[in-house]
Every structure is written in C-alpha cells, then in structure tokens.
C-alpha cells in the first residue's frame, strides 16, 4: 500500500464481519488487514480487466493495420508482375 494508512469508519453486514474475523484469525492478521487485502485484490482485478480491454482494442487496431498492409503489398506486387 502506497503511503501511510488512513483511518476510516465503515458499516458492514454482520455476516461479512464474521467472515473477516474468521479470515483474520486463520491468518493471524487484523480485521483491518483482511479488508485491506480484499480491496487490493479488487483493485488488481480491475486493473487486469482494464488492461485486457485495452489489449483487445489494440488487437483490433493491429488487425486493421495488418489487413491494410496486406492490401497495399498485394497492389505493389501485382504491379511488379
């Protein structure tokens, strides 16, 4: 986590607090750390999806560029024959 910690107050359903407490006890970490790790996982998943979306868009652009290049190459080659 970049920078220092910021104290926040949040409200959670009882069942989620129970899950956080169980995980905290199993891993011997604080409830706060459990929630922090969950948010880090969520942030990483969001970044991964944004990057995948960008790569899909770039792949489409690359395909159009390659198709245009093949078309131009075919024109040049046919003129040379």
Q: How far apart are CA 56 and CA 47, in angstroms?
A: 14
What is the mean predicted confidence (pLDDT) over 1-20?
A: 90
* Residue 80 neighbours by CB under 8 Å, 6+ apart: none
Q: Which two tokens stand for residue 32?
A: 């706060």
How would residue 7 be classed by pLDDT, with cut points 50, 70 and 90?
A: very high
Give the phi and the psi of residue 66 in degrees, each rounded to 5: -65, -40
Q: How far apart are CA 25 and CA 33, in angstroms?
A: 11
How would residue 81 be classed by pLDDT, with cut points 50, 70 and 90?
A: low
Q: How many CA within 13 A on the CB side of residue 11?
A: 0
Q: Where are the domains of the chain?
A: 14-80
pLDDT beyond 60 at 37: yes
């Amino acid at each position: 986590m970049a920078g220092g910690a910021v104290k926040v107050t949040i409200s959670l359903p009882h069942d989620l607090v129970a899950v956080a407490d169980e995980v905290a006890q199993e891993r011997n970490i604080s409830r706060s750390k459990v929630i922090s790790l969950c948010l880090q996982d969520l942030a990483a998943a969001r970044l991964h999806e944004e990057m995948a979306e960008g790569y899909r868009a770039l792949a489409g652009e690359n395909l159009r560029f390659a198709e245009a290049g093949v078309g131009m190459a075919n024109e040049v080659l046919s003129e040379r024959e």
